[in-house]
């Protein structure tokens, strides 16, 4: 999944680089990211690739904070709104979400949180 993190990090670096130019930022001290669990992104890999992408810029050496957002669904059948069950399977290297309502087992669900990767904030000079 390194390619997945690398591509996402490139997109984040591109966005930050654009902000650096537009706002004439002199130094970036901290980047805060929100990563939904359903992105299956590795926070450590993202930190590494963002750090690499910002080398030689005002963001070099930046502190990168990653907050993970758990998935949240809304069931179209019973109205349940909340978390989902996760299946632990040793044959996989990560937990698999079960996309069914934990209350009524309905499968007509809407994912309302947990699938985004967002730049929450930048601490800059």
In whole angstroms, give the CA distance from residue 63 to residue 50: 10
**Count of domains for the chain:** 1
Residue 85 inside a domain? The answer is no
Interval 63-99: pLDDT, tens: 999 999 999 999 999 999 999 876 655 655 555 667 8
In whole angstroms, give the CA distance from residue 49 to residue 5: 8
Residue 16 inside a domain? The answer is yes
Token representation of residue 110:
């809407």
Residue 104 inside a domain? The answer is no
Average pLDDT, the chain: 90
Query: Which pTM value belongs to this model?
Result: 0.82
In whole angstroms, give the CA distance from residue 106 to residue 120: 33
Q: Binding-site residues for Zn(2+), please?
A: 75, 78, 101, 104
Q: Binding-site residues for Ni(2+), please?
A: 4
Which CATH number characterizes residue 60's domain?
Answer: 3.30.2320.50
Interval 19-36: pLDDT, tens: 999 999 999 999 999 999
What residue numbers bound the domain in which 32 lies?
2-71+113-124
Q: Binding-site residues, please?
A: 4, 75, 78, 101, 104
Residue 50 inside a domain? The answer is yes
């Amino acid at each position: 999944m390194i390619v997945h993190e690398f591509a996402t990090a490139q997109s984040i670096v591109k966005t930050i680089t654009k902000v650096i130019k537009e706002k004439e930022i002199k130094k970036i001290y901290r980047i805060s990211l929100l990563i939904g669990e359903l992105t299956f992104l590795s926070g450590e890999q993202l930190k590494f690739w963002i750090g690499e992408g910002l080398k030689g810029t005002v963001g070099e050496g930046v502190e990168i904070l990653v907050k993970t957002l758990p998935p949240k669904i809304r069931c179209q059948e019973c109205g349940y709104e909340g978390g989902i069950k996760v299946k632990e399977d040793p044959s996989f290297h990560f937990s698999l979400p079960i996309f069914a309502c934990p209350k009524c087992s309905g499968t007509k669900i809407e994912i309302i949180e947990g699938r985004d990767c967002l730049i929450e904030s930048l601490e800059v000079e």
